[in-house]
Structure 1
Amino acid sequence: MTLSHDVAGDGPAVLLLHSGVCDRRMWDAQWPTLIDAGYRLVRCDLRGFGETPAPDRPHSNADDVLDLLDGLGIERVALVGSSYGGRVALEVAARWPERVSAMALLCSAFPGHEPSAELRAIGEREDALLEAGDVAGATELMVDTWLGPEADEAAREAVRRMQRHAFEVQLAVDEEFWPLQVEIDLSAIEARCLAVSGRHDVTDFRQIAARLPGLLAHADHVELPWAGHLPSLERPSDTTDLLLGFLRQPAPVG
């Protein structure tokens, strides 16, 4: 399957990977600025999100991303991943380290992370609402949970629209296929990494970001005091500046 995607610009390649409550539209605010800054920008919808159909068989998001890069003739890329997209970025960088030059992980998920009681409770409330047929209620739960205090009504409406669409796409299939879980070796990652957390986020994601510098060879952690889980939507301009500053840094030596 070819993931639905957009490509624009010239220069070093950057791939934007969306969170699990959004789709590729979550990067609308960053898109023109990063292109104008001299990057070849790619953003995609993973399976079951945006314009990419829900999976009808076992699949690997990382394999899908590699197939997309190969189809576009991109040999080396910087990855920007939000939450669920950060988990995908980590797998791509671990399995094909020679293909990834840098990673910016915004409130990233983590392979094998054992969810806290708080995170499990959120998932259980979401499942209960969906099982009761209350898609609107589940959508509002996601909007309220994952956006921090800086998010304006435009950001809330954007998440509401993307999450509702994802629920509708995923609930329309007869059988649900989760991505294949592949054991990965994080020590294989060579790319420099910026691990970003939000002070108003669920504790799990703050802890993941803080752990990454101890697990990766070239990783730094920064916590945004104003952010919840989706900083690119909460303060778009500030997040774009953060990404540009990181992308412009030289590669690590040694």
Structure 2
Amino acid sequence: MILSHDVAGTGPTVLLLHSTVCDRRMWDPQVPVLAEAGYRVVRCDLRGFGQTPVPDGPYGNAQDVVDLLDLLGAERAALVGSSGGGRIALEIAARWPDRVVSLALLCTALAGHEPSAELRAFGEREDALIEAGDIAGATELNVATWLGPEADEATREHVSRMQRHAFEVQLAAVEEFPSLKPEFDLSAVTAPTLLVSGAHDLPDFRQIAAHLSDRLSTTRHLELAWAGHLPSLERPDAVNPVLVGFLSETFPAG
């Protein structure tokens, strides 16, 4: 199955991978800016998000994304990942290092990370609300948890719509299939990497950024004092120049 996606602009390929709180619409503020900077901008919906249906069997997110790159004829690309999308980007960069020119990871998750008490408490509260049938409450919990103080009301409503849609699509599935979890070694990542974290985010994601700074060979870590977990939505005016600058250095549009 090919992931639902759209393409804007021409030039070197930049692939945007959304947070699992959102779908590909989270990149609305970045697409025109990156296209104007000279890139072919691809964004996709992972399985069970946005316009991509839920899995119909065991699946691998990273393989899905590589299949999409193959379809688009993109032998090499820069990957920009937010949260869960960052975790997928890291897997791709480790398993197919020759295909990933640069990585920008915004408040990235990490396979195998041991969640903090705060993150576990969030997950338990979310599960309880969903089991009680309170999808509105679970959606509100996610918006309150993942957006920092700089997010305006329109952004909060936007995230709420994306998260509510994901819940509705996934909960309507007749059967739940597992995501395959192949082993990979982070030391195989060769792409220069930008790590962005937010001071108002849960501590897990700042810890992950610090850990990756030690594990990956070429990294730059930027902590944003104003940011929560979704800085590209909270203040695109501040994040867009950072992304364009990093891509211009590591994957010039020419």
Amino acid at match of 1:160: S
- CA drift of 1:212 comes to 1.0
Instruction: Count matched residues.
Output: 251
| 1:237 to partner: Cα distance | 1.4
Quick one: which amino acid aligns to residue 102 of structure 1?
A: S
The residue type paired with residue 174 of structure 1 is: V
Displaced runs of 4+ in structure 1, greater than 2 A? Answer: none
For 2:249, what is the secondary structure of its paired residue? coil
CA contact (8 A) 2:3 2:52 kept: yes
Deviation string 1:29-59 (CA, Å, 9 cap, x unpaired) is 1111110110010000000000000112110
Asked whether 1:55 is paired with 2:55, we answer yes
**Is 1:30–1:240's contact at 8 Å kept on the other side of the alignment?**
yes
Q: How far is the alpha carbon of 1:177 from its aligned partner?
A: 2.2
User: Is the counterpart of residue 159 in structure 1 residue 159 in structure 2?
Assistant: yes
List aligned pairs for 1:82-231, cutoff 5 A: 82-231=82-231
- 8 Å CA contact retained: 1:19, 1:84: yes
Q: Is contact 1:212–1:221 with CA below 8 Å preserved after alignment?
A: no
In angstroms, what is the RMSD of aligned CA positions?
0.8
Partners in 2 of 1:178 and 1:134 — Cα distance? 24
Identity within the alignment, %? 71
Instruction: State the secondary structure of the residue aligned to 1:249.
Output: helix
Deviation of 1:250 after TM superposition, in Å, equals 3.9
The CA deviation at 1:8 is: 1.5
1:11–1:40 CA contact under 8 A, matched in 2: yes
**Superposition deviation, residue 183 in structure 1:** 1.1
Distance (whole Å) between structure 1 residues aligned to residue 110 and residue 132 of structure 2: 30
* Secondary structure at 1:22 match in 2: coil
Q: Secondary structure of 1:246's partner?
A: helix
Q: Please list the CA deviations of residues 129-155 of structure 1 after superposition, one character each: whole Å capped at 9, or x if unmatched.
A: 001000000000000000000000011
1: distance between equivalents of 2:102 and 2:35? 17
CA distance in 1, matches of 2:34, 2:248: 11
Q: Decide which moves more: 45-54 or 167-176.
A: 167-176
CA distance in 2, matches of 1:250, 1:41: 16
Shift of 1:178: 3.5
Alignment partner, residue 245 of structure 1: 245
Number of the residue aligned with 2:81: 81
**1:74 offset after TM fit, Å?**
0.3
- Name the SS of the counterpart of 1:35 in structure 2: helix
Distance 2:88 2:194 in 1: 15
Q: Deviations over 1:145-189 (max 9, x none)?
A: 000000000110010000000000000012222321111100001
Separation in 2, partners of 1:25, 1:70: 22
1:188 maps to amino acid: A
